């Protein structure tokens, strides 16, 4: 939002309206850095606020890999994500014509789009020599190129510093580094013996962000890759650096949020959210999962939904989805749908607990009580799947389902209570 | 466990061994009623303890409905449940030859089997006239018949009393009663104007339980059927009655656990567990889900896994799974598998947080670091699905996956660190 005088009030008002909150309140949260509104005028997405006072948001990662490049499939993933409730999309493409794919995705969706520019810088260098041969210019030029295409937010791993690499070397980590961008920079630092340009030239990065309306998503290159590595020295060391980056961004008038883990056991999730909120002074917290166990490949959308719900309940603002393909392969369109829905469930469950959005649950409850199947499908996150399942096994009696048939509890009790109870409705409650 | 002198020590020792805990410790928990060991000598399942000091257990409901009766399919569900990690199975059949189906399931599986005898009493009466025409004898005869077949635990809705029906009438509940057994009894009380025989003749029930080695699972007929109804007067009124039933069971030397909700918003789950633990004096808590939102039909195994993980972290002992078919239709074998795995993930995540079972996560983490795919599949909850996904999209490079290809973070950092870091291994930690 380069031109604050002109565009901010309007997009903030639109974002506030979508949340059902007062624009002034949201404007204050954004001004203080406790909320962000990723909005690049070149893309001009539907205004979306992330952070204090707003509902929990869901991001969906898509993108090609070196082995699978199919633009049509990626656009299909983008559409599926938006259809099932994604609030934002990140294009993590590393295969094919990365710029062309990014521009096609930006054209396809009206939700904010994020990228990780260092992927392109590293990948294009890797095609000719090696990732570690990237220059500072390659990195910053990639960021500018993404900004000029209209990207709304970028992940920048500014906290992967020589200090955190030293912490990594000292650590007893099992999986070391599992962040791809983090790995690029760890390898780069070790090879070149120099500081991470995203940190040593952070002021220059802030200038670019300011000039091109880029919201920074401060990446956690040191995020744990297994639950045993969670909340350890490299992770917390990096978080402290990210807290410093948040303050410098705020001083420069640049919007910043902070990325978080990763693999975190259930009992450490609340602590992780609280740590970020204190160290990063309430900057919006954008978590990947967290995955609460390592042993469920094929079902990591579920482990991520468990962790995401608890993280959001504790104050996380933005959930990056995880698909059933995590740790195994590049996701398909179906995987994107399943991952999106799992994260939307987690975000909504936390919202309801925080007092937001339970109207839809009330509508569903009333439709269930009335045995109104169309009403139930209307209130469902995925009406088509709900309908297909219900119709897969029809019941001999039209108004009940094949689970209980005529022994439907709701039907029996409605009949038994008869007129003895007032109609099922009441004011909305938490 | 009618003959304490003979069988208890042996089965307790076996159950303790399976948990990796001292037999004396488990025996104390069982003696105090803070753990149960459902074990009917006629069935003689693999001894399984539920409650204090043991890992979180998962129950899988199977069974026919009036519209779908296929014994072969039900046995397939039982096998799938056990294969994917179910600790116990409940046969909730209401269609076909209910006794024959129950006996076939008891013969098929070596995990403890539970039933809800009132389903059979009610269903058989419904075929001739109506559920509400059940007599007291019908109800108790069904319980004895199930016990004589070897059923290890039975759900008995002793807390659905005239008092709780009055609370229901006064309440502003949306979905009233969604428990099938609860609905039978509410309808029965309203029709016959008498007290629930399972409460008025609870001493007789305790005699039967004592005689036939039956563990009681005190059912929550008043459990909320939508998140707006959670933790309300009918639910808590019933819980107080169940607390009384727990005390009377303990005095009679009968094992008892307590069933819980249901639909519960995320922020009320911890309170629900704490309520049960105080009111029911630390009796094992057996929760259904809980489902943290109402709007995800088709994905309720995920909403249930979120609630179950948090409930178990807060102290719930036994998770009843929920399948993707919940609220829609009778589950298929695939639904049973998906539901089982989701609950196993939730239970395991809570166990790890409570200091149990993280070795398997460590094995997975080490296999990931070593890019050892066979090792990863071995440590996975569902090796077949993990393998199939990984192979669905092969990578051009054999040791990485199609997500990142050669840009694999683990591979890059291993190469970059070279010999500069000690091998990835360390003592087990929480």
B71 membership: H or E segment, kind and range: helix B71-83
> Nearest-CA distance from A81 to chain B in Å?
16
Q: Which of B127, B416, B427 to mutate to test the interface with A (most CBs of A within 10 A)?
A: B416
Q: Confidence band (pLDDT; 50, 70, 90) for A404? A: confident
Residue A296 confidence (pLDDT): 98
Residues linked to residue A156 through DSSP beta bridges, in sequence order = A218
Q: Which among A268, A345, A353 is the nearest to B265, CB-wise?
A: A353
CA dist B161 → A166, B138, B158, B268, B279 (Å): 66, 18, 7, 25, 17
- Interchain contact, B266 vs A313, CB within 8 Å: yes
Q: How far apart are CA A282 and CA A243, in angstroms?
A: 10
> Nearest-CA distance from A265 to chain B in Å?
6
Q: Which residues of B153-163 are buried (b: 16+ CB within 10 A; e: fewer)?
A: bbbbbbbbbeb
- Domain extents in chain B: 10-353, 358-416
Residue A253 confidence (pLDDT): 97
Q: Are B143 and B181 in contact (CB under 8 A)?
A: no
> Nearest-CA distance from B306 to chain A in Å?
5
Per-residue DSSP letters for B188-220? HHHHH-S--HHHHTHHHHHHHHHHTTPEEEE--
Q: Which of B306, B311, B371 to mutate to test the interface with A (most CBs of A within 10 A)?
A: B306
Helix (H, G, I), strand (E, B) or coil at A130: coil
Q: How far apart are CA B156 and CA B119, in angstroms?
A: 10
Q: Return the CATH number of A10-353, one of 3.30.1280.10, 3.40.30.10, 3.20.20.540, 3.40.50.360.
A: 3.20.20.540
Q: Enumerate the residues of chain A whose CB falls inside 8 A of the CB of residue B325.
A: 389, 403
Q: Which of A167, A265, A295 to mutate to test the interface with B (most CBs of B within 10 A)?
A: A295
Q: What is the dihedral of CA B295, B300, B306, B312, to 10 degrees?
A: 130
Work out the average pLDDT over A329-356: 97
> Nearest-CA distance from B6 to chain A in Å?
39
- Interchain contact, B186 vs A413, CB within 8 Å: yes
Closest CA in chain A for residue B373: A328
Q: Are A342 and A302 in contact (CB under 8 A)?
A: yes
- Interchain contact, A361 vs B328, CB within 8 Å: no
Which residue from B235, B273, B263 is spatially nearest to B322, judged by alpha carbons? B263
Q: Enumerate the residues of chain A whose CB falls inside 8 A of the CB of residue B172.
A: 422, 426
Backbone region of residue A43 per phi and psi (left: phi > 0; alpha: psi in -120 to 50; beta: other values): alpha
Q: Which among A266, A349, A429 is the nearest to B228, CB-wise?
A: A429
Q: How far apart are CA B353 and CA A82, in angstroms?
A: 34
CA dist A373 → A341, A364, A391, B298, B353 (Å): 21, 10, 11, 13, 39
Closest CA in chain A for residue B378: A295
Vertex A356: Cα angle to A354 and A360 (nearest 5)? 130
Exposed, middle or buried: residue B24 (CB in 10 Å: 0-12, 13-18, 19+)? exposed
What single DSSP character describes residue A406?
G
Q: Enumerate the residues of chain A whose CB falls inside 8 A of the CB of residue B380.
A: 295-298
pLDDT digits (tens, 9 = 90+) for A303-322: 999 999 999 999 999 999 99
Q: How far apart are CA B113 and CA B87, in angstroms?
A: 9
> Nearest-CA distance from B199 to chain A in Å?
20
Closest CA in chain B for residue A351: B266
Q: How far apart are CA B119 and CA B108, in angstroms?
A: 21
Q: Which among A65, A295, A346 is the nearest to B380, CB-wise?
A: A295
- Interchain contact, A306 vs B392, CB within 8 Å: no
Q: Which among A226, A379, A408 is the nearest to B295, CB-wise?
A: A379
Residue A396 confidence (pLDDT): 62
Which residue from A203, A205, A226 is spatially nearest to A215, judged by alpha carbons? A205
Q: How far apart are CA A408 and CA B330, in angstroms?
A: 12
CB pairs under 8 A between A and B: 411
Exposed, middle or buried: residue B133 (CB in 10 Å: 0-12, 13-18, 19+)? middle
Phi, psi of A257 (to 5 degrees): -125, 170
- Interchain contact, A65 vs B405, CB within 8 Å: yes
Residue B400 confidence (pLDDT): 79
Q: Which among B183, B305, B361 is the nearest to A226, CB-wise?
A: B361
- Interchain contact, A361 vs B226, CB within 8 Å: yes
Which residue from B87, B105, B108, B107 is spatially nearest to B96, judged by alpha carbons? B105
Q: Are A40 and A326 in contact (CB under 8 A)?
A: no
Q: How far apart are CA B19 and CA B357, in angstroms?
A: 10
Q: Enumerate the residues of chain B whose CB falls inside 8 A of the CB of residue A74.
A: none
Q: How far apart are CA A397 and CA A378, in angstroms?
A: 21
> Nearest-CA distance from A251 to chain B in Å?
33
Residue B395 confidence (pLDDT): 66
Q: Are A293 and B349 in contact (CB under 8 A)?
A: yes
Q: Which among A228, A296, A352 is the nearest to B227, CB-wise?
A: A352
Q: What is the pLDDT along chain B (430 residues), one digit of tens a residue?
A: 444 444 457 999 999 999 999 999 999 999 999 999 999 999 999 999 999 999 999 999 999 998 899 999 999 999 999 999 999 999 999 999 999 999 999 999 999 999 999 999 999 999 899 999 999 999 999 999 999 999 999 999 999 999 999 999 999 999 999 999 999 999 999 999 999 999 999 999 999 999 999 999 999 999 999 999 999 999 999 999 999 999 999 999 999 999 999 999 999 999 999 999 999 999 999 999 999 999 999 999 999 999 999 999 999 999 999 999 999 999 999 999 999 999 999 999 999 999 999 999 999 999 999 999 999 999 999 999 999 999 887 766 678 788 888 788 888 898 888 755 544 444 444 3
Q: How far apart are CA B390 and CA B401, in angstroms?
A: 7
Residue B224 confidence (pLDDT): 97
Which residue from A205, A240, A213 is spatially nearest to A147, judged by alpha carbons? A213
Q: How far apart are CA A372 and CA A366, in angstroms?
A: 8
On the question of pLDDT at A2 being above 70, the answer is no
Per-residue DSSP letters for B294-353? SS-TT-HHHHHHHHHHHHHHHT--EEE---TTTTTS---HHHHHHHHHHHHHHHHHHHHH
Q: Are A321 and B275 in contact (CB under 8 A)?
A: no
Q: Which among A65, A345, A368 is the nearest to B299, CB-wise?
A: A345
Q: How far apart are CA B138 and CA B118, in angstroms?
A: 8
Vertex A29: Cα angle to A28 and A34 (nearest 5)? 145
- C-alpha count within 13 angstroms, C-beta hemisphere, residue A194: 13
CA dist A318 → A315, A392, B131, B345 (Å): 9, 35, 50, 23
Residue B421 confidence (pLDDT): 54
Which residue from B408, B369, B414, B410 is spatially nearest to A67, judged by alpha carbons? B408
B24 membership: H or E segment, kind and range: helix B23-32
> Nearest-CA distance from A94 to chain B in Å?
8
Which residue from B111, B113, B69, B71 is spatially nearest to B91, judged by alpha carbons? B113
Q: How far apart are CA B249 and CA B58, in angstroms?
A: 23
Work out the average pLDDT over A102-119: 98
Q: How far apart are CA A149 and CA A133, in angstroms?
A: 25
> Nearest-CA distance from A61 to chain B in Å?
12
- Interchain contact, B361 vs A293, CB within 8 Å: yes
Work out the average pLDDT over A423-429: 42
Q: How far apart are CA A310 and CA B312, in angstroms?
A: 13
Q: Which among A177, A403, A407 is the nearest to B330, CB-wise?
A: A403
Residue B422 confidence (pLDDT): 46
Q: How far apart are CA B156 and CA A18, in angstroms?
A: 48
- Interchain contact, B175 vs A225, CB within 8 Å: no
Q: Enumerate the residues of chain A whose CB falls inside 8 A of the CB of residue B419.
A: none
Q: A363: how many CB neighbours lie within 10 A of its CB?
A: 16
Q: Enumerate the residues of chain B whose CB falls inside 8 A of the CB of residue A220.
A: none
Q: Average pLDDT, whole number, for chain A?
A: 93
Q: Enumerate the residues of chain A whose CB falls inside 8 A of the CB of residue B66.
A: 396, 404-407
Residue B396 confidence (pLDDT): 61
Q: Confidence band (pLDDT; 50, 70, 90) for A417? A: confident
Q: How far apart are CA A255 and CA A413, in angstroms?
A: 55
Q: Enumerate the residues of chain B whose CB falls inside 8 A of the CB of residue A227.
A: 352, 358, 361, 365
Q: Which of A365, A373, A415 to mutate to test the interface with B (most CBs of B within 10 A)?
A: A365
On the question of pLDDT at A129 being above 60, the answer is yes
Helices (H) and strands (E) in chain A, counts: 18, 10
pTM, entire model: 0.95
Closest CA in chain B for residue A63: B403
Q: Say how far residue A52 (Cα) sits from the centre of its chain.
A: 15
> Nearest-CA distance from A278 to chain B in Å?
22
Q: Which among A67, A172, A425 is the nearest to B405, CB-wise?
A: A67
Q: Enumerate the residues of chain A whose CB falls inside 8 A of the CB of residue B294.
A: 361, 364-365, 368, 379
pLDDT digits (tens, 9 = 90+) for A222-280: 999 999 999 999 999 999 999 999 999 999 999 999 999 999 999 999 999 999 999 99
Q: Which among A119, A349, A403 is the nearest to B303, CB-wise?
A: A349
> Nearest-CA distance from A9 to chain B in Å?
34
Q: At what angle do helices B300-314 and B269-279 cross, to 10 degrees?
A: 50
Q: Say how far residue A310 (Cα) sits from the centre of its chain.
A: 15
Q: How far apart are CA A92 and CA A98, in angstroms?
A: 9
Residue B67 confidence (pLDDT): 87
Q: How far apart are CA B202 and CA B140, in angstroms?
A: 10
> Nearest-CA distance from B183 to chain A in Å?
5
Residue A7 confidence (pLDDT): 44
Q: How far apart are CA A424 and CA B176, in angstroms?
A: 8
- Interchain contact, A325 vs B361, CB within 8 Å: no
């Amino acid at each position: 939002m380069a031109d604050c005088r002109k565009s901010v009030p309007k997009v903030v008002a639109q974002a506030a309206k979508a949340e059902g909150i007062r624009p002034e309140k949201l404007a204050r949260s954004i001004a203080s850095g406790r909320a962000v509104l990723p909005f690049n005028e070149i893309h001009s997405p539907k205004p979306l606020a992330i952070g204090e006072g707003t509902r929990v948001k869901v991001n969906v990662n898509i993108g090609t890999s070196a082995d699978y490049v199919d633009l049509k499939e990626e656009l299909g993933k983008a559409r599926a994500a938006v259809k099932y409730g994604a609030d934002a999309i990140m294009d993590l493409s590393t295969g094919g014509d990365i710029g062309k794919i990014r521009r096609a995705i930006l054209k396809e969706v009206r939700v904010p789009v994020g990228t990780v520019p260092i992927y392109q810088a590293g990948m294009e260098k890797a095609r000719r020599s090696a990732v570690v041969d990237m220059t500072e210019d390659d990195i910053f030029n990639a960021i500018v190129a993404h900004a000029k295409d209209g990207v709304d937010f970028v992940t920048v791993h500014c906290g992967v510093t020589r200090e955190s690499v030293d912490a990594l070397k000292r650590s007893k980590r099992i999986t070391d580094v599992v962040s791809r961008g983090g790995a690029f920079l760890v390898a780069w630092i070790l090879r070149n013996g120099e500081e991470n340009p995203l940190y040593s030239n952070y002021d220059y990065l802030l200038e670019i962000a300011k000039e091109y309306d880029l919201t920074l998503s401060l990446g956690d290159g040191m995020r744990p890759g297994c639950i045993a590595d969670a909340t350890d020295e490299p992770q917390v060391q990096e978080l402290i650096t990210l807290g410093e980056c948040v303050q410098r961004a705020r001083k420069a008038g640049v919007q910043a949020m902070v990325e978080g883990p990763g693999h975190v056991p259930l009992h450490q999730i609340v602590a992780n959210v609280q740590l970020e909120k204190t160290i990063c002074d309430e900057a919006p917290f954008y978590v990947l999962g967290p995955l609460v166990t390592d042993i469920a490949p094929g079902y990591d959308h579920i482990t991520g939904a468990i962790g995401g719900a608890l993280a959001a309940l504790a104050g996380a603002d933005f959930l990056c989805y995880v698909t059933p393909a995590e740790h195994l392969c590049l996701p398909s369109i179906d995987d994107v749908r399943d991952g999106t829905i799992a994260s939307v469930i987690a975000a909504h469950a936390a919202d309801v607990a925080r007092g937001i959005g339970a109207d839809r649950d009330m509508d569903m409850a009333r439709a269930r009580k009335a045995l109104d199947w169309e009403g139930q499908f209307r209130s469902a996150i995925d009406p088509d799947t709900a309908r297909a399942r219900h119709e897969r096994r029809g019941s001999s009696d039209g108004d009940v389902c094949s689970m209980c048939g005529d022994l439907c509890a709701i039907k029996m009790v409605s009949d038994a209570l008869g007129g003895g109870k007032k109609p099922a409705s009441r004011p909305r409650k938490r």
